[in-house]
Amino acid sequence: MLNPFFRNQGPCSILEILKLLEINGNNFENHKVYDVKDLLSSTIKDLTFFHSKKYKDLANKTKASFCITTDKLKSELPKNCTPLVVNNVLFSMSKVTSKFYPDAINDNFDNEVTNILDTKYKDKTIFGKNVLVGKKVVLGSNCSIGHNTIIEKNVSIGNNCSIGSNSIIRNTIVGNNVKILDNCIIGKHGFGFFPNNSKNIRYPHIGFVKIEDNCEIGSGSTIDRGSMSNTVIGKNTFLDNQIHVAHNVKIGENGIIAGQVGIAGSSVIGKNVKIGGQAGISGHLKIGDNVEIAGGSGVIKDLPDNSKVMGYPAKNIRQFLKESKWYIILQLLIPKLSYIKM
């Protein structure tokens, strides 16, 4: 769908892009590039990037005409995709993305919001004190908004939704029958940057957050918008309090996630997944359908469908309990063995 939050300044000629990346353009015709997208969603008009073998299956199938990549990875691209070889793929892609979407570099607040009392929604919405609404915001029927909440420009909220107090919602599309509780921050940029000794460089986040129908977002939770793709909370998914969902994360339908869980960037969570409190999931992982992750677990690798895991690093729950049993036995035996030795 068309991004309603960030304006694309393209098209740009490929020669402009090559110059920006300091690549010799003598062997290139002056094609137009209309957008920058990830490997999966790219079309023949777009430029994409490929920085890790983990994504080689997507790279094999990309429809993009141009791809920023490395010399080692370029052979994975299809014939229709021309590689633009660089040393640092993500840094180079950030430069190109900034050219197409310059307003996504910073994350400034919306300074054109107005009090909801001065909008067409004053007689259509239940609201508390000091509620601020940006331009072109869409609020469905039968919605309520708590005190001191800010809904920034172009945000769309469906029917029968409840937004708590002291929350900020930007760069977000919310479905129907959604509850967002107090003190939530949704749609700000994620923790994407390149470490640099003199000055860390932020990656522009041009995606948004999509919260599908019948979801609940617990108090104090944060959901970051996507960098190249969108962050998605699937239908009928319930998030407990103080949960962090990082950029580009996709959570499938019917998920149940307990308090203080952290899901790192670009991980994909399947359908019907249950995650216990204070569990952590590393970035760029694929968690299958019907997976159960026990509280306090640390997930650092992909999990197939129907897995049940616990511990750090997370492992099959039966294996974990079996190993824990022997650990307890050893702890009981060690003092006795020491006494016998003496």
Q: Provide the mean pLDDT of the chain.
A: 92
Distance between CA atoms of residues 172 and 156, nearest Å: 7
Choice between 107 and 258, residue whose per-residue pLDDT is larger: 258
**Confidence band, pLDDT 50/70/90 cuts, at residue 340:** very low
SS3 210: strand
* Interval 309-320 mean pLDDT: 92
pLDDT > 90: percent of the chain = 83
Q: Is the residue at 89 inside a domain?
A: yes
Which region among 22-36, 212-226, 292-306 has the lowest average model confidence (pLDDT)? 22-36
Distance between CA atoms of residues 52 and 88, nearest Å: 11
Domain count, the chain: 1
Q: What is the pLDDT of residue 200?
A: 84
Count other C-beta atoms under 10 Å from residue 201's C-beta: 14
Residue 214 has pLDDT above 50, yes or no: yes
**Confidence band, pLDDT 50/70/90 cuts, at residue 140:** very high
Q: Which amino acid is at 274?
A: K
Residue 38 lies in domain:
12-104
pLDDT tens sequence across 52-82: 999 999 999 999 999 999 999 999 999 999 9
Distance between CA atoms of residues 56 and 54, nearest Å: 6
- 148-180 burial string, b = 16+ CB within 10 Å, else e? bbbbbbbbbbbebbbbbbbbbbbbbbbbbbbbb
Q: Is the residue at 100 inside a domain?
A: yes
**Confidence band, pLDDT 50/70/90 cuts, at residue 138:** very high
Q: Which helix (H) or strand (E) holds 339?
A: helix 317-341
pLDDT tens sequence across 159-194: 999 999 999 999 999 999 999 999 999 999 999 887
Q: What is the pLDDT of residue 318?
A: 86
**Confidence band, pLDDT 50/70/90 cuts, at residue 334:** low
Q: 223 forms bridges with which residues in the sheet?
A: 186, 245
Residue 328 has pLDDT above 80, yes or no: no
Q: 179 forms bridges with which residues in the sheet?
A: 162, 216
Q: What is the pLDDT of residue 4?
A: 87
SS3 60: helix
Q: Is the residue at 98 inside a domain?
A: yes
Distance between CA atoms of residues 214 and 195, nearest Å: 39
Count other C-beta atoms under 10 Å from residue 24's C-beta: 8
Choice between 1 and 77, residue whose per-residue pLDDT is larger: 77
Count other C-beta atoms under 10 Å from residue 301's C-beta: 11
Q: What is the pLDDT of residue 3?
A: 81
DSSP result, 103-168:
GGSS----TT-EEGGGSTTTTTSEE-TT-EE-TT-EE-SS-EE-TT-EE-TT-EE-TT-EE-SS-E
DSSP result, 275-338:
E-TT-EE-TT-EE-TT-EE-TT-EE-S-B-TT-EEETTTTEEHHHHHHHHHHHHHHHHHHHHHH
Q: Is the residue at 319 inside a domain?
A: no
* Interval 330-338 mean pLDDT: 56
Q: What is the pLDDT of residue 335?
A: 58
Q: Is the residue at 302 inside a domain?
A: no
Distance between CA atoms of residues 101 and 192, nearest Å: 16
Residue 339 has pLDDT above 70, yes or no: no
Q: Is there a catalytic annotation at residue 205?
A: no
Given the structure tokens 């939050």, which residue do they identify?
Answer: 5
Decide: 85 and 69 in contact? Cβ < 8 Å: yes
Residue 49 has pLDDT above 50, yes or no: yes
* Interval 117-133 mean pLDDT: 96
Q: Is the residue at 84 inside a domain?
A: yes
CATH number at residue 28: 3.40.1390.10
pTM recorded for the entire structure: 0.91
Q: Is the residue at 7 inside a domain?
A: no
Q: What is the pLDDT of residue 25?
A: 76
**Confidence band, pLDDT 50/70/90 cuts, at residue 330:** low
* Interval 232-237 mean pLDDT: 98
Query: Of residues 31, 51, 247, 284, which has the active-site annotation?
Result: 247
Q: Is the residue at 19 inside a domain?
A: yes
